[in-house]
């Protein structure tokens, strides 16, 4: 339990400390444009990775870091899981958009990473987050909680970790839906993790897929596309819990 408390404290503390100046500048509490603090805020996204690496090294030296980063790499998972992990989130949005458009909405079918920051986020954020969330925290949570409660507990922390980012993106008014989306997403991440025997690479690909088609880009102008992916993610999370009970009975990895 101590390692989990330390991980969450370090991760949240580092991210909040590096992103708070931009938030304060946004509200005029400190001088300077938000852009002046943007590089520091971007550094905050590395919180989960840095915390996981530091704690792994502190506990077992280089062997601990190597064990964290080598978790179930290529060759230990059925090849079909790699494209499935990458395309699952985009597929959920497309299905949700189909349902919404058939019901009379008029929303885009896809939100690819068009701007350079979007492409950078698709590459960097999965690597910055997943070794911490799924590689370090999830296995330790599963040793203390049943699989689904562990996924939900991690989802709560994951949502809280995004707080400053939501504020900076001007989307904080949608926080309840975003938190629900991340809770459901955490369940799906855990399902993929369990079905791939603890594959960190599949978790990274799943996260990259969420950036490959990211309806958050429609905010703040249009909320419906994001609400569609949030709803589709919730339905999918409920489905994998209800229909694939075998996955949740497996021992933690």
Using the predicted structure, report yes or no on whether residue 74 has a pLDDT greater than 70: no
How many domains is the chain partitioned into structurally? 1
- Assigned domain for 77 exists: yes
pLDDT in tens, 228-249: 999 999 999 999 999 999 999 8
CB hemisphere CA count around 166 (13 angstroms): 16
pLDDT in tens, 181-196: 999 999 999 999 999 9
The CA distance from 251 to 231, in Å, is 29
Range of the domain at 98: 73-249
- Assigned domain for 15 exists: no
Give CA 101 to chain center in angstroms: 27
**pLDDT value at position 252?**
67
- Assigned domain for 13 exists: no
- Assigned domain for 79 exists: yes
Q: Which stretches within 73-146 are classed as H helix?
A: 81-102, 116-130, 138-142
Give CA 180 to chain center in angstroms: 12
Q: Residue 174 carries which DSSP code?
A: G
Lowest mean pLDDT among 119-123, 135-139, 224-228, 249-253: 249-253
- Assigned domain for 190 exists: yes
The CA distance from 248 to 239, in Å, is 12
pLDDT in tens, 79-137: 899 999 999 999 999 999 999 999 999 999 999 998 888 999 999 999 999 999 999 99
- Assigned domain for 6 exists: no
First CA to last CA distance, the chain: 16
Q: Which of 212, 252, 11, 213 is nearest to 131 (CA)?
A: 11
Give CA 35 to chain center in angstroms: 24
């Amino acid at each position: 339990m101590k390692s989990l408390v330390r991980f969450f404290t370090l991760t949240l503390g580092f991210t909040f400390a590096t992103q708070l100046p931009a938030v304060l500048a946004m509200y005029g509490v400190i001088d300077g444009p938000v852009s002046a603090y943007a590089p520091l805020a971007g550094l905050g996204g590395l919180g989960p990775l840095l915390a996981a690496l530091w704690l792994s090294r502190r506990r077992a030296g280089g062997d601990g870091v190597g064990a964290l980063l080598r978790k179930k790499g290529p060759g230990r998972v059925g090849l079909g899981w790699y494209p499935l992990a990458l395309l699952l989130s985009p597929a959920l949005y497309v299905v949700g958009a189909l349902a919404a458009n058939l019901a009379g909405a008029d929303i885009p079918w896809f939100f690819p990473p068009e701007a350079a920051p979007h492409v950078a986020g698709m590459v960097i954020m999965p690597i910055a987050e997943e070794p911490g969330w799924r590689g370090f925290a999830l296995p330790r949570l599963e040793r203390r909680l049943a699989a689904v409660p562990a996924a939900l507990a991690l989802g709560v922390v994951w949502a809280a970790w995004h707080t400053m980012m939501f504020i900076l993106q001007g989307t904080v008014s949608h926080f309840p839906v975003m938190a629900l989306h991340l809770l459901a997403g955490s369940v799906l991440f855990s399902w993929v993790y369990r079905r791939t025997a603890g594959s960190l690479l599949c978790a990274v690909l799943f996260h990259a897929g969420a950036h490959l088609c990211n309806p958050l880009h429609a905010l703040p102008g249009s909320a419906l596309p994001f609400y569609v992916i949030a709803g589709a993610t919730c339905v999918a999370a409920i489905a994998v819990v209800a229909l694939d009970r075998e996955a949740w009975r497996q021992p933690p990895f």
